[in-house]
Amino acid sequence: MPLLKVDQLNVFYGDLQVLFDISLRVEEGSIVSIVGANAAGKSTLLRSISGLIRNVTGSIALKGEQILGLPPYSIVGKGVVHVPEGRRVFPLLSVQENLEIGAYSQRKSINMKGMLDEVYGVFPALASHKSQLAGSLSGGEQQMLAIARGLMARPILLTIDEPSLGLAPLMVEKTFETLHAINREQVTILLVEQNVVRALKLSQQAYALENGRIVMEGPGEELLGNEHLKRAYMGI
């Protein structure tokens, strides 16, 4: 049984259909990427899985349990945590306060100090800025904080939307290294990413979206050699 199975998912904004019969699987412990052009429907797919879009038909199952139709807080409680595009940290709160908010769903059971220590171990740069306002961090540091905040909810599936968007090349490299390190700690990742080459190299499985439909799927390394993807998204 896959960790996440999406079957025949259709998504609408009012009367406008934006996703058509989307089916995909995310195996436990893997990294799966969704690639495609702007407005292909990638972010809409993640938002639908997270329960943020309600006008949806089809099936979304987590470990065999149907989660389609549940409110977002219930989906987070089951371990699906969404890191949105654009970081969206709380700019007037400190780094540590942002992290503590990330643990809200675990507030009854979490060892806050222990969890903070774990996250600071993964993101040592954040530890040196723990009292700093999140809004004063660089773009790359804010992205690290957004991912770290997601980890504070103890996800079994971390969905991440465009983590490298707007970052300098050095921070892009750091971001992908961090995602790989997180995955080695047995966190499954569903990734939407504009940097197609880096995403495919990182992923065990990948899906290409065009105009709201999956047009291609397969192992990341295999799709790297696909001529259509090279022409459409890699500039080759």
- Domain locations along the chain: 4-234
Contact of 201 with 220, CB cutoff 8 Å: yes
Contact of 206 with 32, CB cutoff 8 Å: yes
pLDDT at 122 exceeding the cut of 90: no
Band (91; pLDDT cuts 50, 70, 90): very high
- And the tokens for 217? 């799927």
pLDDT at 93 exceeding the cut of 90: yes
- And the tokens for 30? 């893997």
- And the tokens for 123? 């993101």
Q: Report pLDDT for 109.
A: 61
3-state helix, strand, coil in the chain (%, to 5): 40, 25, 35
In degrees and rounded to multiples of 5, residue 98 shows phi and psi of -60, -45
Superfamily of domain 4-234: P-loop containing nucleotide triphosphate hydrolases (3.40.50.300)
Q: What is the pLDDT of residues 141-199, one digit of tens each?
A: 999 999 999 999 889 999 999 998 888 888 888 889 999 999 998 899 999 988 888 99
Mean pLDDT of the chain: 90
Alpha carbons 60 and 8: distance in angstroms, whole number: 9
When pLDDT is averaged across residues 55-67 and rounded to a whole number, the result is: 97
Q: Which of the pair, 125 or 12, is modelled with greater confidence? A: 12
Q: Which of the pair, 43 or 108, is modelled with greater confidence? A: 43
Q: pTM of the full predicted structure?
A: 0.90
52-61, 80-89, 130-139 — which one is most confidently predicted on average? 52-61
